[in-house]
Amino acid sequence: MIGTWINMGTVLAGGTVGLLVGERLPERVRKAATGGVGLVTLVLGFRMALESEEVLSLLLAVILGGIVGSWLRLEERLERGSKRVERWFRGYPLAEGFLTASLLFCVGPMTLLGALRDGMFGDWSVLGAKAILDGISSVALTAALGPGVLLSLGVLLVYQGGITLVGRLLVTNVGALSPTAPEMLAFSAAGGAVIIALGFEILGWKRVSAVELLPALALAPLFSWLLGLLNI
């Protein structure tokens, strides 16, 4: 769970800076830091996408996963759900900061992919990039919404840490889920494609929704297994 501990540390540090500095942090500094995180996110995504040599399973998973995600309107449903929860807590002094930060830090493909990768392979690089982005965001959020943002640390520990533990349990108890298994390499490659889409979103170059590509994570191992049976 090292990735989650680092993530919590950056949120705590960023939130503390936000309380002390407030809105005095220049906007250009935030934009420069966010742009750097976006570029590093792209590098991580390409690195993960190139882990598997099964291009066909990756292609099928990304195309069909994107179609399924778009058909299910995952991004639209996520936004509606977030707004609905926000309405429930409106009017409470600490709730807005807590809720906004919890949604920002815990909802999204980087959380799922990073936590699973940390648990399965011990690779916390994705969560490391997310930690930097969350730390930067927590400065602005705490300055605007107050100390309630720091309460999201509990949600981050339970949710993101829980996903990491699930990934660890899967690898420990299911022998087929080894880091070098073709299905797991296909999973990582599909995850890389999602991370690349997320990197473009961070940089403001959005072409495809990273959230709507999430079904590719389930399809990639399946296609890898099927193509293996067919010796393709």
pLDDT of residue 110: 80
CA distance 148 to 78: 22
**Structural domain count, the chain:** 1
pLDDT of residue 63: 94
pLDDT in tens, 154-172: 889 998 999 999 888 877 7
- For the cut 70, the answer to whether the pLDDT of residue 140 exceeds it is yes
- State which residues form the domain around 46: 2-229
What's the rounded mean pLDDT across residues 93-104?
A: 71
pLDDT of residue 162: 93
Residue type, 95: A
Model confidence band, residue 94 (pLDDT cutoffs 50, 70, 90): low
What is the number of helices (H) and of strands (E) in the chain? 10, 0
pLDDT of residue 174: 58
pLDDT of residue 89: 58
Q: What is the pTM of this model?
A: 0.73
CA angle 32, 209, 211 (to 5 degrees): 100
What's the rounded mean pLDDT across residues 105-126?
A: 83
State the greatest distance between any 2 C-alpha atoms of the chain, in Å, as a whole number. 61
Percent residues over pLDDT 70 in the chain:
84
pLDDT in tens, 168-219: 887 776 554 566 678 878 888 888 888 888 888 878 887 788 888 889 988 9
Least confident of 8-12, 97-101, 220-224: 97-101
Q: Considering the chain, what is the average pLDDT of its residues? A: 82
pLDDT of residue 54: 83
- For the cut 70, the answer to whether the pLDDT of residue 134 exceeds it is yes
Q: What is 66-94 written as a DSSP string?
A: HHHHHHHTHHHHHHHHHHHHHHHHTT-TT
pLDDT of residue 7: 95
| Calculated CA dihedral for residues 60, 41, 179, 114, nearest 10 degrees | -100
Q: Which residue has the higher pLDDT, 90 or 124?
A: 124
